Amino acid sequence: MSKRKLSRQQRWRIEKIQAERAERAARKAGQDDEKLAAGEYGAERDGRVIAHFGRTLDVASRAGETPTRCHLRANLEGLVTGDRVIWRAGEDGSGVVVARGERDNVLERPDMRGLLKPVAANIDQILIVFAVEPEPHAGLIDRYLVAAEATGITPVLVLNKTDLLPDEGGELRGLLDRYRGIGYQVVATSTEVDGGLDALYAQLADRTSVLVGQSGVGKSSLIDRLLPDEQLRIGALSEDSRKGRHTTTTAQLYHLPAPDESLASGELIDSPGIREFGLTHLTEREVTEGFIEFAPYLGLCRFRDCRHRQEPGCAIRDAIDEGAIHPERFASYRRIVDSLDSQ
């Protein structure tokens, strides 16, 4: 599809708006420099970005404290929720962020143009939520795992609605055992039974986490239980989908109070933009590396350009025949790679 051409007047308006924004930023930067020189800002302190709103953001120095609305120095760009920063408090109750600390990692999603855009930073784990109902599909779980592996952030599987699970576990037990056998951690949760969130609280303790998963698996219900004082940020829930209507599109970091003295508190980053993410930005190599049980066999194929289809001497296919790789996981891998080829 060809891009729509802008008229001369439209181009002039866009350039005018951009110039005005640049002028405001420069003027604000000058005012900041004057205030800093005059001693109107306090001493530098460490903080973390709680939410981001364009050129302004909320920063807190300690977990759970009321955040301070800050603006950025003109030379700072690209800050996201979860970033560690150095900031200074102003006499008027606002603040200014003067530097960004190093990132452990950054979670990115492709935008409407297919370009990767940072959404959140310094995350310890991605919790992939699925449920007994709707019945989980291994292929969809695999897609989430591949996407998580590509970020370099540890994925954890969270099985929700376990109160609906048959006593014997059914086919789902075999599916969970398969993922545990690969090396993934599986946490069982339920909001309907006493103690149904104990394992989840333990997993969240002393970590910064992100929840992802398809609609209907109960993410909103989990978040409501984990953050009882933050329910207003989600609108009414649909009885059919249980999907929250968010009042904001920005990622926000929430302090998770510890349920008791035996556990540490944690932090949760939530945003409608990171609850679901796809694979369109990944290469075939990245997808292959996202199946972690393939790792011992990569580079051992007879041909360096082996795509693990029908090539002779394929180490991946040999591993399947030997029982080291589950055939259903390989079939899932093939479907994902084929979907990339068709795009």
DSSP string, 77-117: ----BT-EEEEEEBTTS-EEEEEEPPPS-EEEEE-TTS-EE
Cα(107)–Cα(150) distance, integer angstroms: 10
pLDDT of residue 247: 41
pTM of the full predicted structure? Answer: 0.79
Confirm or deny that 216 is annotated as ligand binding: yes
In this prediction, residue 23 has a pLDDT band, given cuts at 50, 70 and 90, of low
Of residues 266, 291, 281, the one with CA closest to residue 211: 266
- 112 vs 276, residue with greater confidence: 112
**How much is the pLDDT for 195?**
87
- Report which of residues 265 and 238 the model is more confident about: 265
Residue 230 burial class via C-beta count within 10 angstroms: exposed 0-12, middle 13-18, buried 19 and up: middle
pLDDT digits (tens, 9 = 90+) for 247-303: 445 788 999 888 888 888 899 998 765 656 678 788 999 999 999 999 999 999 999
Q: What is the pLDDT of residue 27?
A: 59
301 is in an annotated binding site: yes
161 labelled ligand-binding: yes
pLDDT at 28: 56
Instruction: For residues 299-315, give the mean pLDDT.
Output: 94
Was 219 annotated as part of a binding site?
Answer: yes
70 known member of a binding site:
no
**Interval 43-76: pLDDT, tens:** 899 999 999 887 789 999 987 788 999 988 877 8
| pLDDT of the residue at 319 | 97
Task: Classify residue 217 by its DSSP letter.
Answer: S
Ligand-binding annotation for 162, yes or no, is yes
Residue 218 annotated as binding?
yes
Rounded CA separation 332/297 (Å):
18
Can the peptide bond before residue 228 be classed as cis, meaning omega within 30 degrees of 0? no
* Spatial distance between the Cα atoms of 104 and 271, rounded to a whole number of angstroms: 20
**Residue 221 labelled as part of a binding site:** yes
Amino acid letter at 284? Answer: E
> Considering the chain, what percentage of its residues have pLDDT values greater than 90?
43
What percentage of residues in the chain have a pLDDT greater than 70?
A: 81
- Judge whether 215 is annotated as a binding position: yes
Mean pLDDT of the 203-220 span: 87
Task: Identify whether the C-beta of residue 125 lies closer than 8 Å to the C-beta of residue 207.
Answer: yes
Q: How far is CA 211 from CA 32, 62, 123, 144, 251, in A?
A: 37, 22, 11, 11, 12
Tokens of 89: 């408090």
Q: Where are the beta strands (DSSP E) in the chain?
A: 45-53, 56-60, 68-72, 84-89, 95-100, 106-110, 116-121, 125-131, 154-160, 186-188, 208-212, 252-256, 266-270
Task: Decide if pLDDT at 239 tops 80.
Answer: no
> Model confidence over 322-335: pLDDT tens digits?
999 999 999 999 99
Known binder of ligand: residue 306? Answer: yes
The pLDDT score that the predictor gives to residue 21 is 60
Q: Is 187 annotated as a binding residue?
A: no
308 is in an annotated binding site: yes
